[in-house]
Amino acid sequence: MKRYLVLEDGSIYPGWAFGAPGETIGELVFNTGMSGYQESITDQSYNGEILMFTYPLIGNYGINRDDDESLQPTCQAVVVHELARRPSNWRQTLSLDEYLKIHQIPGISGIDTRAVTRHIRQQGALKAAIVNQVNDSTIQNLQHQQLPHNQVAMSTTKNPYPGPATGHKVVVVDFGLKNSILRQLAQRNCNFTVVPADSTAVEILNLNPDGVLLSNGPGDPKDVPQALEMIRTVEQQVPLFGICLGHQLFALANGADTYKLKFGHRGFNHPVRNLATGNIAFTSQNHGYAVSRQSLTATNLKVTHEEINDQTVEGLQHQQYPAFSVQFHPDAAPGPHDAAALFDQFIQLMDNNSQQEASHDTTY
């Protein structure tokens, strides 16, 4: 069955339908990863977006039960060049086509995804539609369509839930978190509690955490203003670690600014330099916004990491409180794992804070 990818600038790309029937609209974004399509599709950071893969063959190892980053994928559609006809892997339980049908997500194949990617890189982020027919009003309707700004509310957990263990007590604020973050905490024996995005500082501190982690999530950080006062209060009480959207919210809470990138960073091969050591890590990234370096001048934040390709801010550290953040994903599923030691840095901050509190208690 024919299906069309239509961009708001009038570009039309014909292809073939797979996945769920129906039509949809969203911001078209591209991911440069050579693997990890299941992790990407189930990443809540793609909430409301049409996800296009630049790697030419997608779906070759199917879908399994182990690699989901969330229970319910929320991307609007999936765009590929070639859909694997015969996926094969010992862990496979479904094909990509079957999986998208179950979750009511349309797909389109037969698209020259690299040509579309070059177009987006030149024109910037564009609204797009997946339609079964193109008529005189298709492009006009797309141009007038307003995209939602409540992706975090759609992605976050509605109720707190625990991950019991015997180590540090960590509260994870869920702005659209990836399960791989929880796996990293579990590997370090953290006793974590995941709470909704609109949790207050009082609610979080009443859980008596050793540290607080601000998760990744979708959309514009300025659409989540209710989190800023919570962050300003929490960072003064316990160690804090922000990842991706959590990094941007950490910056906004401390007086910095954010801006929309021309076409974002989405893939598993982004080189990032640690400014203190000079070491370079290849990182997993998925974001359309960044922290303004110029806006940091009047804040208590210093830059710790930067993207080598475009020098965007990739890491921040508070100069007064035990709080830091990174724009990339140190949890990195399916990889790379170059930056996983940042979770150990978070553990060390919690250790140091506990020792200082113990010393303070014995002093008095």
Q: Using H for helix, E for strand and C for coil, what is the string for 192-219?
A: EEEEECCCCHHHHHCCCCCEEEECCCCC
Active-site residue, from 97, 168, 329, 338: 329
- What's the CA gap between 342 and 332, in Å, rounded? 12
For 159-172, what is each residue's pLDDT tens digit?
999 999 999 999 99
Triad 128, 262, 282: Cα angle to 5°? 110
Active-site residue, from 81, 244, 270, 305: 244
Q: Is 166 exposed, middle or buried (0-12, 13-18, 19+ CB in 10 A)?
A: exposed
**Residue among 209, 166, 208 nearest 188 (CA):** 166
What Å distances lie between residue 278 and 20, 40, 275, 335, 362, CA to CA? 47, 29, 5, 21, 40
pLDDT at 362: 52
For 244-267, what is each residue's pLDDT tens digit?
999 999 999 999 999 999 999 999
Q: Is 75 part of the annotated catalytic residue set?
A: no
Sign of the torsion angle spanned by Cα atoms 13, 17, 22, 25: negative
For 1-53, what is each residue's pLDDT tens digit?
899 999 999 999 999 999 999 999 999 999 999 899 999 999 999 999 999 99
The band of 175, judged by pLDDT with boundaries at 50, 70 and 90, is very high
Q: Is 331 part of the annotated catalytic residue set?
A: yes
What percent of the chain is predicted at pLDDT more than 90? 93
- What's the CA gap between 148 and 218, in Å, rounded? 11
* Residues annotated within a binding site for L-glutamine: 45, 217, 219, 245, 248, 286, 288-289
- What's the CA gap between 307 and 354, in Å, rounded? 33
The mean pLDDT of 96-122, rounded to a whole number, is 97
Active-site residue, from 68, 97, 331, 338: 331
Are the beta carbons of 358 and 350 closer than 8 angstroms? no
Which domains, and CATH codes, for the chain?
2-147 (3.50.30.20), 152-360 (3.40.50.880)
The mean pLDDT of 170-194, rounded to a whole number, is 97
* Residues annotated within a binding site: 45, 217, 219, 245, 248, 286, 288-289
For the chain, give the number of residues. 364
Q: Is 329 part of the annotated catalytic residue set?
A: yes
Other beta carbons within 10 Å of 296? 19
